[in-house]
Amino acid sequence: MKKLFAALSLMCIPALAQVGIVRSTSGIHAPSAKTLPQGFLYISGTFEMVSDGNPLSLDGGYTDSKGNFVTLEKNTPSNDETFYASFAVLDNLELGVSIPFHYEGDINNTDLDGFGLGDLHLSAKGSIPVNEWFYLGLSGELFAPTGSTEKGFRPRHRWYVKSDGEAYAFTSNYPAANVNVHFSFDLRQYLTFNGYAGLLSDFGEKAKYLLWGAGFNIFPEKTLTLIFEASGETPMRSTRMSYHFLNSPFRLTPGLRLHLPYEAYLTLSGDVGFHYFKELDSEDALSVNLKSGKNNLHYKTSGSPEVAIAISLSKVFNLSWGDDDNDGVIDRKDMCPNTFKGQKVNPRGCPVDEDQDGILNIVDLCPNTPTGLEVDYNGCPLDHDNDGVADYLDKCPNTTNGFAVDSTGCMLDTDGDGIDDNNDKCHETPHGEPVGNDGCPLDQDKDGIPNETDQCPDTPEGISIDKNGCPLDFDGDGVPDDIDNCPNSKLGELVGESGCPLDSDKDGVPDTKDECADTPEGVAVNILGCRIDQDGDGIFDEEDKCPGTPEGAPIDSLGCPLDSDGDGIADWADQCPGTAPNTFIDISGCPTNQRHNFNTFAKHIRFKGIDTVLVNSSYTALNDIVYYMRQYPMNLEIQCSASEAGANAERISNERAEFIYNYLVKKGIRKERLKFQGFGKKLPPTLTQKNGSTDVVRFIPSPENQKQ
C-alpha cells in the first residue's frame, strides 16, 4: 500500500506550477497552465493560520548556545498574509508579483517574536494552448531575500533551512530562482486537472529543490468549486537523492471556491502535512541553526505544519484594450461586442440610428428614411395600401392590394390604353388603338368582325373568313383554304401545316395508308409504305447483295446463298452438301471421287438392329471423317434417324447421334467443332432432299469460322 501511495505521489511531479497560495482563478497551490486574457489584472489577498496544538519544534523546544534545552509553549500563534497581483501583457503572457507578511508571537525566551516581511516574489508565465482541452505552460520565478531575519521560528520553505550556518523563518539568505512546467486538462467544464513541476536553485549555496504539485477542480465553472491538491518541496542533493525525496513532507490541500459576482472569488482551504512512509520523527526532521540576537538556537522542525487553514479573496479586473469587432470601442467598454464590420457605432460600441427613426441601423431595412416620417418595425416608411410605394410618395394611396403600380403608386398602364395592367388582357395594344373594357382592340384581328361576335379573334390578317370571323376551311382539316395546298383532304385525315396528309417517315405514303410508319428515310417502299424484299429472303433490297436468291435458299447476313462445304456450289443447288475442301466436283456439287464427301462415309455407318451400338465396319467410315476433320478446318453437325425403332425413335436417334459425337471427341476433335441431334424416324427435308430422308446418319459440314 505504501509503494502504491508513493507511486501515485510521484505521478504528480511532472505537473508543476508556482510556489504560493491562490495565485490564479484555478487551483490553490497548483494553478492552471492557462494565462489571463490580454489586459486582465488578477489580485488576491490570503490569510493563512497555523495552530495545530503543537510547539513550533518537533522536540517541544530548542537548545540555546549554552546547551540548555528550553521548552516552548504549545498553541503558539503562527500566520501568514500574502498579497499577489498578476497582469497579462499578452493573451499568452502573464507577469506577477507577490508580497508576503508573516507573524509568530510570544516565542518565549527568544528575540524572534512578532510581525515581519517575507521574500519578494516575481514571476512570469507563458501559456501554450495545444487544443480545446489541453494546455501547456512555462513559468519562471525569482525570490529576492527581502524578508526579516529577526522574526519567526517556523521556516516557510525548505530552502530557507541551510545545511550549515544560519537559517531564518521569514527569509532566505540568498536569492533563489526556479523554472516550472505546467499542464492543464479541461474536461467538458466538469473537471479540471492542474499540475506543475519545477526546479529551484539557491544562488548562495547552489542548492537545488524539486517543487511539485497537482490537483483537481470539480465543477470549475459552477458557483461552488471543489478543489483537492497535493504539493511539496524536495531537496535535490547528489547523495542519497531517493532518501531525501522519500523523507520530505508534503501537503494535501482540500478547498472550496465560491464564485462571487463581478469575477470575484472567495476561497477556503486547509493544508494537511503528511510524510510519505511513516510518522515524521526527529531523525527525519530538518535541523535548524537559527540566529536570535547574540545567541544561536538549535531545534528540529518538520518543515510543513500538520494543519493550516487559509482564506483568500480575489478578483479579476478587465483593463484590456482589445477591440474584437474593430468598431473603435475597446471590448471592456463595448456594450455591443459583435458589431458588424464597418457599421457605425456610438461611444458604447452599439449601432447608431442615423436616420433617427427609432430603429437602430443594425436592424433598419430603410436606413435613409427622411427625418420625421412614421416608420414600421423594419424602419421603413409606412405603405398602407402595400403597393411598394411609401405613403409620402404615393399619389394613389388606396390602390387595390396586389395591383401593379408605377413609381407614383398609381395603377400601371404599360400600353397607355387607359386600362390598367391588372385588367388589361392585351398589354401591347398599339398606341391610339381603340380598345374595349378588357384593354383589347375592338376588332383585334382586323377581319371586319367586331370582337364581341368574332368567334376567332386571332385570325391572321388577309385570311378569308366566314360570317363568324373564322377562316374558311372547305375540307375541314383545320388549315384555312388560303394556305391549304391540299384543299380536298379526306375528312378526319391527319394533315400538316400545309394542309396535306401527314407522311411522318417521308416515304411518299400518307400515314393513313402506311403500314410501316417508321421506314428509314430514303429507302424504297411499296404502295403500303413497307420496305421491298423481292426475293423474299428476309433481306431488304437496299441491303441485299444477292437480290435474286431462290425462295427458301439458306443465306448469310448479306442476303447471299450459303455454301456450307465451301465447294463453290450454293447449298440450295448442291446435290452433295458434305464435300471435303479442295475436292474436284461436277456442276451438281458432287466430287468426282465420292470418298471426298462426308455423306458417302455416312452411308457406311450402320447400327445393330434398333440399338445404339455400331456395326464394326462403321468405325472405318468414322475414322475417315476424323482424318478429314484433322486435315481441314471444318465444323460438323451429326444428324441421326431411327425409322425402325417405332415409338422409341426420338430417343434412339438422339443416343445414336450422341454416340458418334462422343467417338469423334474421343479421337481428339474439339467439342466446339461438333453438334449432334436426333430427328426420330426421318431426317428433316433439305433443298435437295425436299421430302426428307430415312438415312441412318447424315453429316452437315461447314467452315470452322462459320457460326453454328
pLDDT of residue 12: 33
Q: What is the pLDDT of residues 565-586, one digit of tens each?
A: 666 666 655 556 666 666 666 5
Q: Which of 172, 165, 177, 167 is nearest to 146 (CA)?
A: 172
pLDDT-derived band at 485 (thresholds 50, 70, 90) equals low
Does the CA dihedral 582-584-586-590 come out positive or negative? negative
Tell me the C-alpha distance between 304 and 207, whole Å. 19
Q: What is the pLDDT of residues 392-416, one digit of tens each?
A: 776 787 777 767 777 776 777 777 7
Burial of 558 (0-12, 13-18, 19+ CB in 10 A): exposed
The DSSP result for 251-286, as a single string, is EEEEEEEEEETTTEEEEEEEEEEE-SSS---TTTSE
Looking at the DSSP bridge assignments, the partners of residue 103 are: 79, 115
Write down the residue that cell numbers 531525501 correspond to.
Answer: 244
Does the CA dihedral 518-521-523-524 come out positive or negative? positive
pLDDT of residue 254: 94
Given a contact cutoff of 8 angstroms between Cβ atoms, the answer to whether 113 and 104 are in contact is yes
Q: Bigger pLDDT: 100 or 60?
A: 100
Q: Which of 214, 318, 311 is nearest to 265 (CA)?
A: 311
pLDDT of residue 56: 78
Among 217-231, 590-604, 640-654, which range has the highest average pLDDT?
Answer: 217-231
Neighbours of 209 (CB within 10 A): 23
pLDDT-derived band at 669 (thresholds 50, 70, 90) equals very high
With a CB cutoff of 8 Å and minimum separation 6, the contacts of 240 are none
Q: Which of 77, 163, 155, 137 is nearest to 113 (CA)?
A: 77
Tell me the C-alpha distance between 558 and 546, whole Å. 7
Q: What is the pTM of this model?
A: 0.49
Given a contact cutoff of 8 angstroms between Cβ atoms, the answer to whether 299 and 290 are in contact is yes
pLDDT of residue 227: 95
pLDDT of residue 541: 60
| Strand, coil or helix: 68 | coil
Can you give 308-320 as a three-state secondary structure string?
EEEEEEEEEEECC
Domain 13-51+75-243+250-273+305-318 has CATH 2.40.160.40: yes
Q: What is the pLDDT of residues 203-237, one digit of tens each?
A: 877 778 888 899 999 999 899 999 999 988 877 76
Q: What is the DSSP letter of 598?
A: H
Q: Bigger pLDDT: 181 or 273?
A: 181
Average confidence score pLDDT of the chain: 76
Q: What is the pLDDT of residues 3-26, one digit of tens each?
A: 333 333 333 322 222 334 677 888
Q: Which of 548, 593, 595, 592 is nearest to 570 (CA)?
A: 548
Given a contact cutoff of 8 angstroms between Cβ atoms, the answer to whether 526 and 519 are in contact is no
Tell me the C-alpha distance between 431 and 414, whole Å. 10
Among 412-421, 552-561, 590-599, which range has the highest average pLDDT?
Answer: 412-421
CA 14 to chain centre: 38
Residue ranges per domain, the chain?
13-51+75-243+250-273+305-318, 594-703
CATH topology of domain 594-703: 60s Ribosomal Protein L30; Chain: A; (3.30.1330)
